[in-house]
Structure 1
Amino acid sequence: METFEDFLDTIEKAEHREKFKNVIEQLLADYPELTLEIKWNQPMLLLKENGTFILGFSKAKPHFAIAPEKYTRDYFEKEIEKAGYQTTTMFMKIKWTDEVNFDLIHKMIDKNIADKKDSTKFWREK
């Protein structure tokens, strides 16, 4: 998988593809300092300045998932629960029928950018 369009093609339902595409496009519009890349067959938002990981995404039939790294997911655990999203050790799951809580996602992105702006590593060093 090489492009975002390749990833979108793996999402079965057209309305799910459109929702996911809109989420990514909105985040890129909100954060021009981020770039979208496909790594390990998953879309990832990286900080343009140093290439460090900010958020990753995956999908399944009932949801798409956001992976902000375990540290950040744990940091926002109470807010994720309050938003009504399921979690795993590494992911926050957003059902295709759920509203997308952009305020929460923005907080995760802001935290990762602040923490990793001077990073020389792809993954968090903590």
Structure 2
Amino acid sequence: MKEFEEFLAKIDDPDQQERTEEVLQWVKDKFPQLEPKIAWNQPMFTDHGTFIIGFSVSKKHLAVAPEAAGIEKFAEAAKEAGYDHTKQLIRIPWNKPVSFSLLEEIIRFNMEDKKDCETFWRK
């Protein structure tokens, strides 16, 4: 994952680095049509120039950012998976497993919802 090497190298904790790389690689493998890129110093994936999902790391969690529409649609599912959220991101604690099925649902929702979107962010 050449696009994310520099970002991943800056993650000090080896377990967090490994988990983040695993998630990014999973997205890339599961959705090869998405374009991986770094923007605003964060790894993200786009489709036809529109934002689909982004990630960031903090001391306590991996943050998943699917835009507010993705949060609203999947807030309950995130809570059921043991994650909390804000209006813009879902927090996956480092000590909890990643729900790849939830990530897949979020990404598929954004791809479908934004298939005709001509801007980077929803308006």
TM-score normalized with structure 1 length: 0.92
Q: Is the counterpart of residue 17 in structure 1 residue 11 in structure 2?
A: no
**What do the CA deviations read for 1:34-90 (whole angstroms, capped 9, x no partner)?**
11100010111111xx11100011110111100000111111111111111011121
Q: Quick one: percent identity of the two aligned structures? A: 39
Deviation at 1:111, TM superposition (A): 0.5
Gaps of 5+ in 1: none
Counterpart of 2:82, as a letter, is G
Gaps of 5+ in 2: none
How many residues align structurally?
121
1:18-97 equivalences under 5 Å are 18-47=18-47, 50-97=48-95
Counterpart of 1:58, as a letter, is S
1:101-112 equivalences under 5 Å are 101-112=99-110
Deviant stretches of 4+, over 2 Å? none
**What do the CA deviations read for 1:12-53 (whole angstroms, capped 9, x no partner)?**
111110111011101110011111100010111111xx1110
Equivalent residue, structure 2, for 1:98: 96
TM-score normalized with structure 2 length: 0.94
3-state SS of 2:105 partner: helix
CA RMSD between the two structures: 1.0
3-state SS of 1:66 partner: strand
Deviation at 1:5, TM superposition (A): 1.4
